[in-house]
């Protein structure tokens, strides 16, 4: 390999990609060494190697495909024919992981996985790794992975779920998928893949330090410690650097080699002959033991982090020369020549043929259609088939199961007296779990305890620990598990104990769950309904962690459905629709449960019982976007609100009528994302005055969206006041009510409107 050094030294200022390319050619041309007898197809490629000649030839071809896709991208990016240059050069040894696993082992891949993908394409006949990859590089509408929305490694038939993560946010859902593979058997669910499958997850050494990665490793160990199966293969592709920050020598091995209940294996990803058996041991161990396995794969990074990374500006030429000399393709070339499997001419011919194939595919991909219409871009983001969702939400063909779950026909919830919100959410959860045997409910304290507010009380007893269970205290893992279960065809209902805790794990929804349909062109989906105790006004147990009114972080997530009921019957019909949206359209949903209304029974005076409602029988469901209107036709004042604001507005309306003689209509939005602009405009059209009551903070709250809908409908001249929370964290005890809107503020806003000329 020393023949690479003079080339690199002579061309200090040249394009390093050109140098790396030429290094391979000159290495082959100048190679002089002993040649073994040409091996037969199933003979070891070299004495003592576990890799046979056929396997080596195919792995070498996959390595060359990966390399020339990188080289092609560097050349054609400047011609605006390719739009992605983060390459796999130096990581081509990950092709061994693809060869030694199955195409039905779900894979969540690092962005340097060109070798893995090229090799996995061999698993099914008729697939073309070069053309498929070229279409993705070119952002072509015909890209079979993402439909031109991003350069991703992905394939529906090959079970490679597209990732856009540049760090480690895909590790929790890979772990979740591994757990789901085992959970399916326990609940009698039929998997879409073989029962002994494993989940594969690759990432870089730098990413292994990320908090999201560490939470996945910890959860995997926590699971294995309890003797529960979690067949996830964590593949750390260690190239010793993250963009420009070097990983301390020996750090990965030292950090993971002795970690309890995370089984460590090392493999040389720079040497196919040496590394193959090492990778095989890790894969076989993971599949047979069903334990989380950490494969430390030695790689290198050549040609920089991406095409815009000019390493010569921050690394010495001597260091670059040394890195380029460790190119795994040089070692593969040496094996090819030493084994007698290739002559120099044959190897050079394969190299050039691969180059031409990649460039030809890229030129063809450039001629293919691109995404040119906004509707086409957004088509897979938030699929919605209203008729099918309605039919599924109203489907009531499971009465025998309901009777068994509730303990008799006379105990069905619709035959009980009106009840408050917490009870009816609990009844609705029993109901949907009876309807959907693939549903799992999990989170912190949800099982035997029944949740901190007893909303999940009795579910563990009814549906047992395989379907209702506690998790470790980690919201990132909870949402990673949810995605894993969804990947395997189940319907998860994860609970985040408080809305404030969601922010710890927001990217699992924003960057992962809600983006999967978009970046897979609706080929993959991970339906889930995330429950969260939410909003403010909780008495006796407060502070900003338990009174969080920040809904903005949810409403900003593309494609996420956010519903917020204020009363029990709405809670039941909304949950049915959310489950149907997940089941039918694969939607990711958030279900906000107002804590302060959980136990509310009265509306105007103590003991009036006017905030308790009859449970809606199966067959009733709330259409997405449909609000509830109180006092329809009352036009003197219209109050738009949601959650805690609904009973507040109703109480205020009584006072306003006494003070001003106005008849007030209260509009409960119920659905906070997407906001139903047409419904808002229709309600505002006849209003003489408007109050927007938003218990969230002033900045970026739901109220801003309501006002925008009114103004964009041409109704901006209608006198309007906004009653909203302050831009502050919520303090403890009575001080909390100083920063949240109350009845008095709503009435004051009405008087302010009355004072306008």
Cα separation, 286 vs 284, whole angstroms = 6
Q: What pLDDT, on a 0 to 100 scale, did the predictor assign at position 285?
A: 98
Question: How confident is the model over 271-280, as pLDDT tens digits?
Answer: 999 999 999 9
Q: What pLDDT, on a 0 to 100 scale, did the predictor assign at position 12?
A: 52
Q: Which residues share a beta bridge with 741? A: none
- Of 220-234, 530-544, 724-738, which has the strongest mean pLDDT? 220-234
With cut-offs at 50, 70 and 90, classify the pLDDT of residue 4.
very low
With cut-offs at 50, 70 and 90, classify the pLDDT of residue 304.
confident
CATH number belonging to the domain at 20-369, selected among 3.40.50.12140, 1.10.3720.10, 3.40.50.970, 3.40.50.261: 3.40.50.970
Q: What pLDDT, on a 0 to 100 scale, did the predictor assign at position 10?
A: 45
Cα separation, 590 vs 472, whole angstroms = 21
Cα separation, 221 vs 258, whole angstroms = 12
CATH tag, 386-597: 3.40.50.970
Give residues with Cβ within 8 angstroms of 36, minimum separation 6. 46, 47, 338, 339, 340
* Positive or negative: CA dihedral 671, 672, 678, 681: positive
Among 444, 436, 428, CA closest to 486: 436
Q: Which residues share a beta bridge with 439? A: 491
Cα separation, 590 vs 563, whole angstroms = 6
Cα separation, 586 vs 491, whole angstroms = 10
Over 60: is that where the pLDDT of 512 sits?
yes
Over 70: is that where the pLDDT of 9 sits?
no
With a pLDDT cut of 90, the percent of the chain lying above it is 86
Read off the pLDDT of each residue in 348-373 and give the average, rounded to a whole number. Answer: 96
Looking at per-residue pLDDT, the higher value among 576 and 3 belongs to 576
Kindly report the pTM of this predicted structure.
0.95
Q: Which of these is catalytic: 103, 296, 544, 546?
A: 546
Assign domain 628-755 to its CATH architecture: 3-Layer(aba) Sandwich (3.40)
Q: What pLDDT, on a 0 to 100 scale, did the predictor assign at position 85?
A: 86
Among 713, 388, 370, 402, CA closest to 577: 388
- For CATH 3.40.50.970, list the domain ranges present in the chain: 20-369, 386-597
Over 60: is that where the pLDDT of 3 sits?
no
Read off the pLDDT of each residue in 416-433 and give the average, rounded to a whole number. Answer: 98
Over 70: is that where the pLDDT of 507 sits?
yes
DSSP string, 80-99: TS-------TT-GGGHHHHH
Q: What pLDDT, on a 0 to 100 scale, did the predictor assign at position 525?
A: 94
Mean pLDDT score of the chain: 94
With cut-offs at 50, 70 and 90, classify the pLDDT of residue 559.
very high
How distant is the alpha carbon of residue 72 from its chain centre? 30
The two beta strands, 468-470 and 491-496, are unpaired
Cα separation, 42 vs 341, whole angstroms = 12
Question: How confident is the model over 661-696, as pLDDT tens digits?
Answer: 999 999 999 999 999 999 999 999 999 999 999 999
Looking at per-residue pLDDT, the higher value among 293 and 110 belongs to 293
With cut-offs at 50, 70 and 90, classify the pLDDT of residue 163.
confident
With cut-offs at 50, 70 and 90, classify the pLDDT of residue 7.
very low
Pairs from 5-9 (Cβ < 8 Å, separation ≥ 24): 5/321, 5/325, 8/317, 8/320, 8/321, 8/324, 8/325, 9/317, 9/321
Can 258 be counted among the known catalytic residues?
no
- For CATH 3.40.50.920, list the domain ranges present in the chain: 628-755
How distant is the alpha carbon of residue 602 from its chain centre? 40
Looking at per-residue pLDDT, the higher value among 33 and 61 belongs to 61
Over 70: is that where the pLDDT of 166 sits?
no
Neighbour count for residue 356 (Cβ, 10 Å): 11
Q: What pLDDT, on a 0 to 100 scale, did the predictor assign at position 33?
A: 84
């Amino acid at each position: 390999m020393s023949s690479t050094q003079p080339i690199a030294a002579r061309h200090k200022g040249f394009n390093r990609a050109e140098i790396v390319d030429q290094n391979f050619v000159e290495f082959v041309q100048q190679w002089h060494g002993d040649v073994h007898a040409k091996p037969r197809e199933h003979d070891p490629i070299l004495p003592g190697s576990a890799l046979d000649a056929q396997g080596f030839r195919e792995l070498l071809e996959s390595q060359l495909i990966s390399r020339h896709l990188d080289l092609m991208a560097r050349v054609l990016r400047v011609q605006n024919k390719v739009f992605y240059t983060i390459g796999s050069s130096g990581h081509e040894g990950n092709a061994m992981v693809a060869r030694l696993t199955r195409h039905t082992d779900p894979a969540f891949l690092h962005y340097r996985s060109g070798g893995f993908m090229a090799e996995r394409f061999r698993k099914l006949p008729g697939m073309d790794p070069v053309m498929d990859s070229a279409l993705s590089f070119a952002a072509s509408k015909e890209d079979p992975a993402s439909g031109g929305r991003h350069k991703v490694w992905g394939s529906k038939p090959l079970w490679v779920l597209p990732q856009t993560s540049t760090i480690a946010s895909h590790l929790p859902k890979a772990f979740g998928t591994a757990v789901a593979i085992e959970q399916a058997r326990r609940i009698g669910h039929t998997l879409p893949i073989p029962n002994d499958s494993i989940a594969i997850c690759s990432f870089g050494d730098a990413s292994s330090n990320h908090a999201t990665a560490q939470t996945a490793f910890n959860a995997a160990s926590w699971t294995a410690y309890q003797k529960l199966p979690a067949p996830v293969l964590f593949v750390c592709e260690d190239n010793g650097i993250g963009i420009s920050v070097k990983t301390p020598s020996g750090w990965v091995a030292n950090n993971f080699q002795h970690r309890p209940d995370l089984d460590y294996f090392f493999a040389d990803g720079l040497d196919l002959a040496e590394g193959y058996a090492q990778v095989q041991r890790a894969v076989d161990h993971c599949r047979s033991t069903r334990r989380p396995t950490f494969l430390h794969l030695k790689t290198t990074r050549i040609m920089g982090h991406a095409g815009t990374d000019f390493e010569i500006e921050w690394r010495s030429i001597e260091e670059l020369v040394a890195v380029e000399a460790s190119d795994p393709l040089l070692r593969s070339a040496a094996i090819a020549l030493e084994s007698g499997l290739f002559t120099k001419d044959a190897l050079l011919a394969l190299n050039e043929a691969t180059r031409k194939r990649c460039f030809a595919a890229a030129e063809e991909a450039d001629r293919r259609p691109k995404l040119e219409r906004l509707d086409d871009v957004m088509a897979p983001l938030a699929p919605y088939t209203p008729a099918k969702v309605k039919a599924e939400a109203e489907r009531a063909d499971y009465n025998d199961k309901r009777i068994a779950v509730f303990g008799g026909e006379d105990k069905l919830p619709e035959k009980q007296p009106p009840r408050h919100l917490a009870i009816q959410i609990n009844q609705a959860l029993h109901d949907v779990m009876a309807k959907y045997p693939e549903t799992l409910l999990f989170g912190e304290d949800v099982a035997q305890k029944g949740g901190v507010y007893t909303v999940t009380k009795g579910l563990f007893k009814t549906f047992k620990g395989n379907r209702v269970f506690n998790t470790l205290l980690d919201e990132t893992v909870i949402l990673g598990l949810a995605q894993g279960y969804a990947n395997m065809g189940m319907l998860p209902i994860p609970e985040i104990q408080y809305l404030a805790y969601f922010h710890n794990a927001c990217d699992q929804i924003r960057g992962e769950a809600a983006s999967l349909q978009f970046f897979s062109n609706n080929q993959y989906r991970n339906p889930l309904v995330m429950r969260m105790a939410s909003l403010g006004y909780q008495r006796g147990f407060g502070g900003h962690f338990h009174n969080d009114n920040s809904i903005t972080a949810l409403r900003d997530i593309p494609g996420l459905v956010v519903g917020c009921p204020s009363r029990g019957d709405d809670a039941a019909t909304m949950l049915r629709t959310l489950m149907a949206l997940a089941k039918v359209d694969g939607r990711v949903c958030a279900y906000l449960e107002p804590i302060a209304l959980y136990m509310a029974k009265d509306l105007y005076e103590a003991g009036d019982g006017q905030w308790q409602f009859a449970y809606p029988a199966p067959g009733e469901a709330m259409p997405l976007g449909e609000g509830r209107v109180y006092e329809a036709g009352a036009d003197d004042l219209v109050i738009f609100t949601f959650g805690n604001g609904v009973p507040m507005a109703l109480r205020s309306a009584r006072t306003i009528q006494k003070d001003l003689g106005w008849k007030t209509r209260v509009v409960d939005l119920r659905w906070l994302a997407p906001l139903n602009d047409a419904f808002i405009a229709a309600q505002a059209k006849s209003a003489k005055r408007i109050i927007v009551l938003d218990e969230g903070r002033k900045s970026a709250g739901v109220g801003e969206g309501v006002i925008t809908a009114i103004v964009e409908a041409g109704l901006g001249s209608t006198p309007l006041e906004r009653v909203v929370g302050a831009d502050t964290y919520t303090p403890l005890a009575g001080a909390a009510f100083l920063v949240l809107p109350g009845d008095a503020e709503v009435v004051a806003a009405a008087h302010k409107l009355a004072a306008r000329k």
